[in-house]
Amino acid sequence: MRILYYVFFCFLFSGSVWAQTPSTAVTTQPAKEKVIIIYGSADCHYCIDTKAYLDKRKIAYVFYDIDKDTVALREMLAKLKQAGMPTYGLSIPVIDKYGVLFMNDIPFDDFLKKLD
């Protein structure tokens, strides 16, 4: 009988622990706050030009330097994988525009137009 109680309590409490475990899934769904996320490098001229383009148009963005921020790098790679995009041969910057991912793999002027 003790074993039955033990199994019952283990099952009961393990379920509540699972329910409280935060999700590690990365979503690319639009956030309530409209902010463009730029994954790039501080030394990349395309990244610098992208930030200048957004600054000029007063478009809110967050920049992550994936050379220095491994958490941001993993987040970017997870988003690309979830979106079915290749995670090799990347052309930075990689943009998360309200849940839509794209990278600098087209003519740069066309890339910038996608930011508007």
* 85-116: pLDDT as tens digits: 998 888 999 999 999 999 999 999 999 999 99
pTM beyond cutoff 0.75: no
**Tally of CB atoms within 10 A around 81:** 12
- In tens digits, what is the pLDDT along the chain, a chain of 116 residues? 444 334 334 444 444 333 333 333 334 444 456 899 999 999 999 999 999 999 999 999 999 999 999 999 999 999 999 999 998 888 999 999 999 999 999 999 999 999 99
Provide the residue type at 96 as one letter. Answer: D
Q: Is 1 helix (H, G, I), strand (E, B) or coil?
A: coil
Q: Give me the domains of the chain, ranges plus CATH numbers.
A: 36-113 (3.40.30.10)
d(C-alpha 81, C-alpha 99), whole Å: 14
- For the beta sheet containing 100-103, the strands, ordered from the edge strand earlier in sequence to the opposite edge, are 61-65, 36-40, 94-97, 100-103
**Virtual CA dihedral for 90, 91, 94, 100, nearest 10 degrees?**
-80
